[in-house]
Structure 1
Amino acid sequence: MSEIRYRLPQKREIVTEFPGPRSQELSQRRTSVIAAGVASSVPVYAADVDGGVVVDVDGNSLIDFGSGIAVTTVGGSAPKVVEKVKDSVEHFTHTCFMVTPYEGYVEVAERLAEITPGDHAKKVALFNSGAEAVENAVKIARVATGRDAIVVFDHAYHGRTNVTMAMTAKNMPYKNGFGPFAPEIYRVPMSYPFRDPEGMSGPEAAKRALEMVDKQIGAANVAAVVIEPIQGEGGFIVPADGFLPALAEWCTDNGALFIADEVQSGVARTGEWFAVEHEGVIPDLITVAKGVAGGMPLSAVVGRAELLDAVHGGGLGGTYGGNPVACAAAIGALDTIEEWDLKSRAKHIEAVTHASLDSLVDGTEVVGEIRGRGAMIALEFVQPGTREPNPELAKAVAAECLARGVIILTCGTHGNIVRLLPPLTITDELLREGLEILSDAIVKHGK
């Protein structure tokens, strides 16, 4: 393991009013030209990002607990990513792999086939976004099985395209007014230990879901079961042990595909390359995006070779899919994860986070649960002494943290969850400082 290197000082510092005058000026310019439907959760404008800090245009340095929604896993300007991107753009920025292919696409595919679970023969197709990867995984599943039905879960988030909106559970803001949606998408209950009947095991929760599939859809009609091994936007819900293996076994027994949507949970975020590895599950197909390319737009479907080869020539692809610069960035990001041993770093971040925050569950009446794996941890806020969602508190805590220089994101079907997604390159000092500010905010607003 080589030592993590930083370009910017790794410190929190607020030097202007907040947001500062330059951010306010940009906000005014934005209002006149940017669509209102494109919203931002933080009112400052970034100028520089490195390691665990985001420096805004006014010179304020904020602790980053968001990573651009789990994208800058290796930091916002990791040296190896920057080096690879610079070298790539000096040669060419685009040819379209479907016209004139190039080695970078091939190398990324080789690397992804190597790190994804299972020792079976695999093939890969590259795209731009997580939603594209999920939609193409559905296309592959339907062609390979000759079936139409896709099973998804409560609280799921899979993207903003028409098919992936249909697969996504939450209406506002992702689906409201955008229908009609793609057909043959069916939703069943997720294993949600905090809200399931007390004592419900993973296999019991799987049985509950699969009985609905058998009765309401018919196993013979199911092309695929698609699930986030740890749900992202839905609330960082970690299913009970045994839930994922039971789903995968059912798929094998019934000729359906098990598709792991690892767009947010993958690429070392949870302490393994992919979250399904925590339970030894080997998906038929796995979708990859976000952290795979150090901030550049790249996604992939990786899976059993015979499944991807079931699609006719020209049936997969896109003008920008597997862009050469994004591929170069991915090679740099994957090298960085290995050289800096960031999987171990994710596990360390998990330990530090729990050591800092676990006392809030018993020490307050408003933190119902702290859950997650690696550097993918969430706190679920409830009304005092109950399990009723408390979205007002989540919003207040995030706002308090931001005012003190810590970027924190909320999520959850009810908006009552704060999620922590720090870069794996964050220093222990910054991590602990940010967690202390978060803890103070919870105590202050949770009274």
Structure 2
Amino acid sequence: MADGSSPHTREGRTGRTQPVVDEPVTDRDLRDQLRAVLAHPMATTHLVVASSVLLVGLGVMMVLSSSSVFAGENYGDPYYFLKRQGFFLVIGVVAAIVLSRLTPSTLRTLSWVAMILACVLLILTYTPLGVEVNGNRNWLKLGTDLFRIQPSEFAKLALIMWGADIFHRKQRLLEQPKHLLVPFLPGALVLIGLVVFQGDLGTAVIMIAIVAAVLWAIGTPMRLLVSMTVLTIAALVPMTVLSADRMRRFSYFFNPDEGLDGSNLQQIQSLYGIASGSWWGVGLGGSRQKWGALPEAHNDFIFAVIAEELGLIGSLSVLALFAVLTFAGLRIALRSDIPFCRYTAAGITAWFSLQALINMAVVLRMLPVLGVPLPMVSYGGSALLANLCALGVLVACARHEPEARQLRAQRRRGSAPRVTTLVGSR
């Protein structure tokens, strides 16, 4: 220092230098700093991108770890599933970046194209192009096995965006019940019906939850939502009772000692893996369940391998990342002044959060097996591509929050204000 004093000393009234005692950081200081960070106009965008990048990165890592043994034994290449996942990841990232740069008006137009395309692809599964996997005819084979897609994954995003555009157009008419339900509900029922007749009840349940979330976001009266919930349950019961496979899963769920070589095998083995993971896990790549005890551990039960290899801390980290993404999605829905963005953000957030919770509940044996993947983490090219497209749309909505629009406009004019935080500003 120029005067010979240390940065950690100060001159007292007597002329002597006295040491400066750093004041402890309190909870209030941390809350103020957090508020300052979240007050940034682009904070929501950063939250969506950061949480999704970490989830996708974790997913790629765990797909390699959980599938290497199965891929080596069945395909002669331990990196077989990693390569396929990487292929769809590259396409998905490009699609997400492109979608994130689109305006809400462009996305609204695109939603109709997506809805029509989703209907066409779902119908094609009933033609010779359709492929049956594990009893569900919900795949399309377009040439080689690499280009085998599951249209129902893209139908989720199409349904959300199409419904958001309809309600954007009907914004002044939503107080009338007929405008709340028509044409959104008939269109949704067409998509859900096509998925149900494929035999994929798990995906249909997720789509029903998406419909309920979008209707709730636009302010549908609770009595109407309750009535629709009752009707939905009444429709799902016969679908379960009339299916021998679903009834077997439902029965074994309440009888854990039965079906250990069949319907109960995956859930019981997943619990063994979770239990052996303890606090910190057995180490990345050290799972024992992936050596054949847990069938296809890289798919719907990848969370069991995460819990086994990374322990409770790793499992809670995954849950925390989904919580951050859910918070960011709800923040977009609450802050946006564009109805389309508000409803789209609500639908995508409900999709990711509810599907993640259902997947984890199945792995923890809190629900019967439904066959839904863990978003952005489980292996599956169609699911990953659809998830990344949805994230691109969510980022586009975040970039069009009022304060974010204003900041981008100021940057284009070269007059953006300097953003400060409270970190170190004592």
Greater helix content: 2
Relative to total residues, which structure has the larger strand share, 1 or 2? 1
Q: Normalized against structure 1, the TM-score is what?
A: 0.28
Which has the bigger relative contact order, CA under 8 A and spacing at least 6?
2
TM norm structure 2 = 0.29
